Amino acid sequence: MKENITNIPRHVAVIMDGNGRWAKKRLMPRTFGHGAGMNAMIAMARKAKAMGIRYLTVYALSTENLARPKEELEGLYTLIRKYFTKNVKELYAEGAAVRVIGDITALPAGVQQLIREGVENSPDDAQFFVILALNYGARAEIVRAVNAAISRGERVTESELGKLLDTADMPDPDLIIRTGGEIRLSNFLLWQAAYAEMYFTDVLFPDFDEKEFEKAIADYSRRNRRFGNV
């Protein structure tokens, strides 16, 4: 029976794990799995928007991922180039915007340029945001924010520190999803996850289709969030 989901999260963040294993099962290179993962990510964004979610953050490239073999990294950069030239246009047409968190200055100059253009060309009045975490690591993000506070010579409150993070203009995630069977956060949104609900599934990310996404949202909507209260 189809469930009526009443409580839609405002911000969903996703650790898209399992692309490599998905490809291996098919005797294909890991890059093939990332390509399938990107298709799943695009379908997930469409579904999220249709469900009324406002912010979708995806862990597309962790700081640790930069140490992967050159060939795999090149494959990921090719996908990022494609996303920021072709796929973002489809987002704009639907009134959606793209944003980035993480330190993109470590990426190849041409890739950085396309990312900046993709963010700048986004519509100003967007109602839906796809936020790509690229060369993102939560500890590095927190350290950058702390150093920014120190250079201002001011003590900060939690809310002021929050405004120095890459996520400054976004609400904290309500729900964090991790596909691929591991039960950990892997340096993703550590500060912002303080009160997030967690959803873990064994489904490998390329197989995480609209139905699976809807299942995760339905699970969230049944939870009772108390934020430390009774």
Positions annotated as catalytic residues are 17, 65
Is 100 among the residues that bind ligand FPP (CB under 6 A)?
no
Rounded Cα–Cα distance for residues 205 and 38 (Å) = 9
Rounded Cα–Cα distance for residues 152 and 148 (Å) = 7
Is 225 among the residues that bind ligand FPP (CB under 6 A)?
no
Rounded Cα–Cα distance for residues 87 and 42 (Å) = 8
Is 75 among the residues that bind ligand FPP (CB under 6 A)?
no
Going from the C-alpha of 154 to that of each of 64, 160, 168, 206, the distances in angstroms are 31, 10, 18, 45
Is 21 among the residues that bind ligand FPP (CB under 6 A)?
yes
211 close to 185: Cβ distance less than 8 angstroms: no
Phi, psi of 15 (to 5 degrees): -95, 110
Q: Nearest approach, Cβ of 94 to ligand FPP (angstroms)?
A: 17
Segment lying near ligand FPP (by CB under 6 A), choices 11-19, 120-128, 159-167, 214-222: 11-19
Rounded Cα–Cα distance for residues 62 and 79 (Å) = 15
112 or 221: CB nearest ligand FPP:
112
Which amino acid is residue 140, in one-letter code? A
199 close to 176: Cβ distance less than 8 angstroms: yes
Q: Nearest approach, Cβ of 147 to ligand FPP (angstroms)?
A: 27
Rounded Cα–Cα distance for residues 166 and 217 (Å) = 25
Rounded Cα–Cα distance for residues 141 and 139 (Å) = 5
Q: Which of residues 148-187 bind ligand FPP (CB under 6 A)?
A: 180
Applying CB under 6 A, among 9, 37, 75, 137 the residue interacting with ligand FPP is: 37
Applying CB under 6 A, among 44, 48, 56, 60 the residue interacting with ligand FPP is: 60
137 or 180: CB nearest ligand FPP:
180
* Residues 189-208, mask of contacts with ligand FPP (x by CB under 6 A): ----------------x---
Is 65 among the residues that bind ligand FPP (CB under 6 A)?
yes
- Judged by the rule CB under 6 A, the positions of this chain that interact with ligand FPP are 16-21, 30, 34, 37-38, 41, 60, 65, 76, 79-80, 83, 180, 205
